[in-house]
Amino acid sequence: MEALNLKVDSVHLEFDGRKILQDIYLNCSKGEVLGILGRNGCGKSSLLKIIFGTLACTHKYVSINDDYIVKGYHNNRIAYLPQHNYLPGTIRIDRLAKMLVDEVYWADFSSHPIYQQHQLKMAPQLSGGELRQLETLMIIYSKADFILLDEPFTHISPIQAEEFKHIIRNCAKTKGIVITDHQYYNVLDVSDRIILISNGSTKPIHQPADLIAYGYVNHIN
Amino acid sequence: MNRLFTLICHFYKPIAFINILFTGLSIYAFIKNGVEHLSIPSILKLFSYTVVVGYQYFFSAKSYFYFRNAGYSVRSLYVRVFVLDFAAFLVLIIGTYFILWKH
């Protein structure tokens, strides 16, 4: 199995003169789940969009195995689960899924109850939660080497979150996964490593108590 | 190649009605004005691509992420769709010309 390493460095992002991201460094290897935590508006989603290639910034360095990447999505190197729904509403779910999901994972994906139940429907016929589950699964099981998940545990029930964590861990055997969510306990649970974005820069978190020290949480259960 | 063609079809589907409508209008303009004023249907057809991009931007820009996650940029898909659509338009124009004026 080829070793792959996603490296993100020197990201500078400003909105209206306000520095959002300025001292960013992260790396994620194939076989690893990297969790990103941070307060609202700290730039977590923006960072994922910059890595994916859909948000322009002042400066960035994104590479896979030291090959500079301009647009992360080109040639299925990186897939990204945005916070909003992204499936086109005029095409059946099964047809959409076949274009995204990796053949290697097709049996796992297609046997999932949510797909079994809704594969012949179109996106607007599903509830918000059902659609979110399907969209998340399609990204996790996609062909990309690296997966960026922006709030995958939002809009789904605790039982489904547990199931997703199991799927993420399983897929991380062959991919690198970067995950961010405000449900920090789920992120802590599923991640191999954690970084916190605070004041525009990344801070490695070595133990949960560091999150208290940086003022991200008051206490950890 | 098959996968790319299917993705192009998926990308084209929500905008097909606009393109077909403008192709119909352009052919009508061609029949009304004749070969001497070929610029009228051509400009109308090219204008339709602006309408399509605007329509997609306002009503379904979120679905761009689906195509990016499939590994393709939205710009490259627009180019492919418009080239195919314009080729179909040219075939129709030439066909109409031969039926009406060269028959």
Q: Which amino acid is at B62?
A: K
Residue B18, pLDDT score = 93
**At a CB cut-off of 8 Å and minimum separation 6, what does A69 contact?**
A53, A62, A63, A77, A78
Find the farthest-apart pair of alpha carbons in chain B and give their distance in angstroms, rounded.
49
**Chain A nearest CA to B92, separation (Å):** 27
**Chain A nearest CA to B32, separation (Å):** 35
Distance, CA of B103 to CA of B99 (rounded, Å): 5
Is residue A114 within 8 Å of A151, Cβ to Cβ? no
Residues of B with CB under 8 A from a CB of A: 3, 6-7, 10, 13-14, 60, 62-66, 68-73
Task: With a cut of 90, say whether residue A185 has pLDDT above it.
Answer: yes
Give the chain A residue whose CA is nearest to the CA of B16: A90
The band of A220, judged by pLDDT with boundaries at 50, 70 and 90, is: confident
User: A182 phi and psi, to 5 degrees?
Assistant: -80, -15
| Neighbour-count burial of B15, counting CB atoms closer than 10 A to its CB (0-12 exposed, 13-18 middle, 19+ buried) | buried
Q: Which residues of chain B does A84 touch, with a Cβ-Cβ cutoff of 8 Å?
A: 62
Structure ipTM: 0.93
Task: With a cut of 70, say whether residue B66 has pLDDT above it.
Answer: yes
Can you tell me the mean pLDDT for A146-158? 94
Q: What is the DSSP letter of A75?
A: G
Ramachandran assignment for A8, one of left (phi > 0), alpha (psi -120 to 50 degrees), beta (any other) = beta
Q: Position of tokens 């077909």?
A: B20
Helix/strand/coil for A151:
coil
Token digits of residue A204: 């490695």
Is residue A211 within 8 Å of A198, Cβ to Cβ? no
The answer to whether the pTM exceeds 0.80 is: yes
Q: A63-111: per-residue pLDDT in tens?
A: 999 999 999 999 999 999 999 999 999 999 999 999 999 999 999 999 9
**Chain A nearest CA to B7, separation (Å):** 7
The sign of the torsion formed by the CA atoms of B77, B82, B88, B91 equals negative
**Across all residues in chain A, what is the average pLDDT?**
94
Are B66 and A96 inside 8 Å of each other by CB? yes
Q: Which residues of chain A does B70 touch, with a Cβ-Cβ cutoff of 8 Å?
A: 76, 99-100
Q: List the single best residue of B5, B9, B68, B81 to mutate versus A (max A Cβ within 10 A).
A: B68
Q: What angle do CA A139, A140, A146 make, to 5 degrees?
A: 90
Give the chain A residue whose CA is nearest to the CA of B61: A86
**Chain A nearest CA to B44, separation (Å):** 26
| Neighbour-count burial of A39, counting CB atoms closer than 10 A to its CB (0-12 exposed, 13-18 middle, 19+ buried) | middle
Q: Distances in Å between the alpha carbon of A115 and those of A120, A122, B62? A: 9, 12, 21
Q: Which of B10, B62, B70 sits opposite A84 (nearest CB)?
A: B62
Residue A42, pLDDT score = 93
Are B60 and A87 inside 8 Å of each other by CB? no
Domain boundaries, chain A: 5-213
Q: Which of B15, B9, B70 is nearest to A76 (CA)?
A: B70
HSE-up of residue A25 (Cα within 13 Å, Cβ side) = 3
Interface of A with B in 88-147 (CB under 8 A): 88-91, 95-96, 98-100, 138-139, 142-144
- Fold for domain A5-213? Rossmann fold (3.40.50)
Q: Which residues of chain B does A73 touch, with a Cβ-Cβ cutoff of 8 Å?
A: 68-69, 71-73
